[in-house]
Structure 1
Amino acid sequence: MRVTTCLRPVGVGGLAGLSFGVEFVPQEPILSIADYVKLAEERGFKYTWITDHYNNRDVWSTLSILALKTEKIKLGSGVTNPYTRNVAQIASAIITIDELSNGRAVLGIGPGDRATFETLGIQWVKPVKTIVEAVTVIRRLIAGERLKFEGEVIRLSGAKLAVKPKAAIPIYVGAQGPVMLRTAGQIGDGVLINASHPKDFQAAISYVKEGVEKSGRRMEDIDVAAYTSFSIDQDPNKAEKAARIVVAFIVAGAPDQILERHGIGLEGAKTIKEAIGKGDFKTATKSVTSEMLNAFSICGTPENCISRIEELLKTGVTQIVVGSPIGSDKKNSINLIGEKIIPSFQKP
């Protein structure tokens, strides 16, 4: 099987220093999200990432509206997967976003969530192999090939797209475990890592580096995006309050070794997981400790957030994705990041 890689355009990730992205879950009206993204664009954010879950608004429809409502910000799926969507449909969709946005599309793709697939009756088979094959096939379809592909998971018999992108479309791989992180380093133009603490990135980036070196590239050739839980406010108590429910869900789903890495007791995590399972979000939120907030979010005043971002930079992170909850008031938080944080990391 041939693995095709593309050269990442100048201006993506490490080639231009630290960049900022913002994530939105399309739970609210798309036009409201468009207003937030337009504001983020005006405040200096370079990327926006839209999540892809079956129970929310459609990611591609959302990105289409954002393409028409913005001018500069790059637009990415954060992330789609090749289980609920056919790879040829993904390739066609991202080319469509690229056309509507005049060359600003970025494809984020990952193995997805086993629990979600079980809900939908979809088998989660060979996630690493599936992602390798998916990225290979999507790149070749985007390049205009008529493709006959016989993989272990993905099979095409003469598929060919009738459209082409305006420019090369970077592909970011969502990755968590060691094998997927190595794979992302080997085949991705970028890697999206769900974490907020330098300890997690020290571990993760070492695996990414192995994959990058195997591909014959350098770390400077790949964008390492920290897909963080972020909550900012001039009042640190407000920032913490907004972050608690998000952190509770992160703790509930965290493997034991990750909890132990941060010195978080398994009993405390169990309490939160059981509370969420019962729908008792009040107990789950109250059970979140300051140690949990520190481990699983970037949270607090602009000064607090700048300090953590500086720590992440030292590990090799090249993009900060401001993820849920963003803050107690999204508009105010986006403005605050644009005024206080992004300028602190801009090169003179």
Structure 2
Amino acid sequence: MSDPDSPTWAIELTPEHPPERIADLAARAEADGFDIAFTSSHYFNRDPFVVLSRMASATDDLRLGPGVVNPYETHPVKLAAQTATIDEVSDGRAVFGVGAGDRSSLSNLGVERDRPLRRVLETFDLARELWDGETVTHEGTFTARDASLNLEPAGEIPVYVGAQGPHMLRMSAKHADGVLINAAHPRDLEWAAGKLEQGLADRPADAGEFESLAFASVSVAGDEEAAREAARPPVAFIAGGAADPVLERHDIDREAANEVSEALERGDLNEAFGRVTPEMIDAFCIAGTTETVAERFEAALEHVDGIVVGSPLGPDLEDAVDRASEALAAATDGEND
């Protein structure tokens, strides 16, 4: 794994805003010391690769990539080409964040998320071959025949797998360059670290280093209550889709989570957000003032190599980027002053 004395600072910038604003936020994140910026991919937001291209123009050293794309909405060969294009326009700064995708969003498109672990693995295996300049024929969870790219990346593109369940976590540790653990609480991250260790035990000796990042929902502001209120929307979606073992780990009532989930399915977002409990916010988001968030970051870093500061960031995005950087600095130094 990476040097524990130098945790990776990463951030998720959600393209629910125009590309120009996301590019400005990326430049701000780079100035604040972040290492990687991931751009989320959902059919209802702006295209992540268009936004990443603008982010590349606005930054110099920040590593950039989708976080995460799925190989159901878009063919894996196309994803490899799109990521290689970002690598080209950024002079070799691309990373590839890939996962199985959100089941409910895919169902809106009539897409079945079939054999997710196998499909994700086949996707990045194929991408690596294409990036090496190979012509590929593949028959598995998807088909590609005599596929090749007319461009080659400037360098190695690291693959980060979005993971939450035990099998995807183990697979990522065995085969990928890194993992984006969909969790914010130390209890969940400790559990995930155990699954990663199992995968690392089977990792080939020549596979290179592996990095674990907590892809954590974060909401930080000068006012604790404002930060927690801003956390309600993402926490609703997390809690509404949480598996029973996760709810049990945090003593969250199954019926309360069901009420959130049912409201989301009806499309009644206000009701869903209103049914989010304080316990759900504590379990599924790092929310509060800079000092509170720094303490939570420090606890998380006991189990991972770095943190992705994920949506919602906070009630004020620009302020939240700055505060998240300050909190990471405090957590890295062990100083929460």
For the criterion TM > 0.5, the same-fold answer is yes
Query: Which whole-Å deviations, capped at 9, do the CAs of 1:259-318 have from their partners, x for residues lacking one?
Result: 111001112212222333344444333332222111111011122111111111112x11
1:296 to 264, 284, 298: 284
Identify the residue that residue 319 of structure 2 maps to in structure 1. Answer: 332
Q: Which amino acid aligns with 1:156?
A: A
Q: Confirm or deny that 1:57 pairs with 2:46.
A: yes
Identify the residue that residue 131 of structure 2 maps to in structure 1. Answer: 142
Q: Is the CA contact (8 Å cut-off) linking 1:24 and 1:324 kept in structure 2?
A: yes
- CA 1:47 to 1:31, structure 2 compared with 1: closer, same or farther past 3 Å? same
* Cα distance in 2 for residues equivalent to 1:167 and 1:206: 31
Q: Confirm or deny that 1:213 pairs with 2:193.
A: no
> What are structure 2's unaligned runs of at least 5 residues?
none
Q: Confirm or deny that 1:345 pairs with 2:335.
A: no
Identify the residue that residue 107 of structure 2 maps to in structure 1. Answer: 118
* Cα distance in 2 for residues equivalent to 1:29 and 1:13: 34
TM-score between both structures, scaled by the size of structure 1: 0.90
1:218 shift after superposition: 10
1:346 shift after superposition: 5.8
- CA 1:112 to 1:340, structure 2 compared with 1: closer, same or farther past 3 Å? closer
Q: Confirm or deny that 1:224 pairs with 2:224.
A: no
* Cα distance in 2 for residues equivalent to 1:264 and 1:219: 39
* Cα distance in 1 for residues equivalent to 2:203 and 2:148: 27
Q: Is the CA contact (8 Å cut-off) linking 2:216 and 2:307 kept in structure 1?
A: yes
* Cα distance in 1 for residues equivalent to 2:163 and 2:12: 16
Q: Is the CA contact (8 Å cut-off) linking 2:186 and 2:299 kept in structure 1?
A: yes
Q: Confirm or deny that 1:168 pairs with 2:156.
A: yes
1:17 shift after superposition: 2.4
Aligned length: 334
> What are structure 1's unaligned runs of at least 5 residues?
1-11
Q: Is the CA contact (8 Å cut-off) linking 2:290 and 2:326 kept in structure 1?
A: no
Identify the residue that residue 132 of structure 1 maps to in structure 2. Answer: 121
* Cα distance in 2 for residues equivalent to 1:117 and 1:294: 28
* Cα distance in 2 for residues equivalent to 1:46 and 1:21: 6
2:307 to 317, 320, 323: 320
* Cα distance in 1 for residues equivalent to 2:21 and 2:281: 28
Q: State the identity as a percent.
A: 38
Identify the residue that residue 6 of structure 1 maps to in structure 2. Answer: none
Q: Which moved more, 1:68-77 or 1:246-255?
A: 246-255
* Cα distance in 1 for residues equivalent to 2:37 and 2:113: 27
Identify the residue that residue 8 of structure 1 maps to in structure 2. Answer: none
- CA 1:219 to 1:99, structure 2 compared with 1: closer, same or farther past 3 Å? closer
* Cα distance in 2 for residues equivalent to 1:85 and 1:219: 27
Q: Is the CA contact (8 Å cut-off) linking 1:14 and 1:221 kept in structure 2?
A: no
TM-score between both structures, scaled by the size of structure 2: 0.93
2:64 to 75, 99, 102: 75
* Cα distance in 2 for residues equivalent to 1:219 and 1:287: 45
Q: Confirm or deny that 1:34 pairs with 2:23.
A: yes
2:188 to 195, 200, 209: 200
Q: Confirm or deny that 1:233 pairs with 2:221.
A: yes
Q: Which amino acid aligns with 2:280?
A: M
* Cα distance in 2 for residues equivalent to 1:15 and 1:161: 37
Identify the residue that residue 92 of structure 1 maps to in structure 2. Answer: 81
